[in-house]
Amino acid sequence: MTIHNPVPPVPFAGAATLVIGGGRNIGREVAREFARRGARLAVADLDLEGAEEAAALIREAGGEAVALPCDVSSDASVKATVASAEAALGPLAILMNNAGILSGGNPEDIPVAAWQQMMDINFFGMVRAIEAVLPGMIARRRGHVVNTASFAGLYPFATSRMHYAASKAAVVSLSENLAVYGMDHGVRVSCLCPGPVMTTSVLGMKHWSENYTMRAPGSHLTVKSQEETARILADGMEAGRIIVPTHDEVWDTLRERAASPDAYVIKKHGEFASGDSGKPAVPAEFLANKP
């Protein structure tokens, strides 16, 4: 779907691009997809080894990429990462904020410190990067900021990780408001909202409760690959889309919720009470390669 975004697009070809949180999973595949479309990459991650592996894959495929360390909880680290990326590639045309953490549990068991850490990494990490990059984009009247949110930030289901859902809802709001603001300054904004995607992110997650049920976005959905997710994002950016979900079914969900938020919340409770935890269908090829 083509969107008549009033801000001129930033072509991937030749674009100096920083992907923060690009060392593994979705971030790595997004960096590789951007590179396939001609972008010049700085891949940054707290896990520098992962960033180096991602950059090496891009270079092996004929692209240009450097690896950088980045701790998004640190103002100084984020500023240093941006400075290093621009020293290597020139002024940034595309910034993707993909770094994030995940943990689960019932809300009464999750300490305030864990809520604060979730917001500091998942939300303020993006704020730090935007603060470092946005003034230059505005001065050049050219740029594209991409933030990774989640279906958990779009509608209620993540009762088993409310602190995560709250951080992602904040990312959605930040992205939409920044998109409005950016239209006066030549800066595009997109918000990737993954639904169920096959990643390894859940393998190391901390659990604050025992024997709790992990709620998922809907049993009517099917898990997508990281590679398809990256293509969906890149296509959406080229089309001028602001909210870029991995599954188009989410629009039906959002229309239903908008019609009556109260009724939707009650319906969701009824689904959970009946034993439907919202776990999506997993394609056979993913099960065969499950880590």
- Percent helix, strand, coil in the chain (nearest 5)? 50, 15, 35
Taking 90 as the threshold, does the pLDDT of residue 279 lie above it?
yes
pLDDT at 2: 60
Query: Of 173, 43, 166, 196, whose CA–CA distance to 103 is shortest?
Result: 166
Whether 39 and 58 have beta carbons less than 8 Å apart is answered as: no
Say how far apart CA 258 and CA 9 lie, in whole Å: 30
Q: What's the full length of the chain, in residues?
A: 291
Residue 125 lies in a domain: yes
Taking 60 as the threshold, does the pLDDT of residue 158 lie above it?
yes
State the pLDDT confidence band at 199, using cuts at 50, 70 and 90. Answer: confident
State the pLDDT confidence band at 200, using cuts at 50, 70 and 90. Answer: confident
Whether 158 and 108 have beta carbons less than 8 Å apart is answered as: no
Mean pLDDT value of segment 88-105: 97
Residue 4 lies in a domain: no
Residue 46 lies in a domain: yes
Whole-angstrom Cα Rg for the chain: 19
Residue 224 bridge partners (DSSP): 197
Taking 50 as the threshold, does the pLDDT of residue 214 lie above it?
yes
Whether 150 and 215 have beta carbons less than 8 Å apart is answered as: no
**Active-site residue (options: 155, 164, 181, 212):** 164
- Coil, helix or strand at residue 8: coil
Enumerate residues 6+ apart whose C-beta is below 8 A from 205: 102, 103, 104
Mean pLDDT value of segment 107-120: 98
Residue 222 lies in a domain: yes
Mean pLDDT value of segment 63-83: 98
Residue 263 lies in a domain: yes
Whether 197 and 229 have beta carbons less than 8 Å apart is answered as: yes
Taking 90 as the threshold, does the pLDDT of residue 103 lie above it?
yes
Residue 146 bridge partners (DSSP): 96, 190
% the chain with pLDDT above 90 = 92
In the block, tokens 């999973």 appear at 25
Taking 60 as the threshold, does the pLDDT of residue 290 lie above it?
no
Mean pLDDT value of segment 140-162: 97
pTM for this predicted structure: 0.95
Domain enclosing residue 187, as ranges = 16-288
Mean pLDDT value of segment 113-134: 98
pLDDT in tens, 168-194: 999 999 999 999 999 999 999 999 999
CATH of the domain at 201: 3.40.50.720
Residue 11 lies in a domain: no
pLDDT in tens, 222-269: 999 999 999 999 999 999 999 999 999 999 999 999 999 999 999 999
Could you give the C-alpha distances from 159 to 37, 152, 192, 204, in angstroms and in order?
A: 38, 9, 21, 19
Residue 260 lies in a domain: yes
Q: Determine whether 181 is an active site residue.
A: no
State the pLDDT confidence band at 291, using cuts at 50, 70 and 90. Answer: very low
Number of domains in the chain: 1
pLDDT at 238: 97
Residue 3 lies in a domain: no
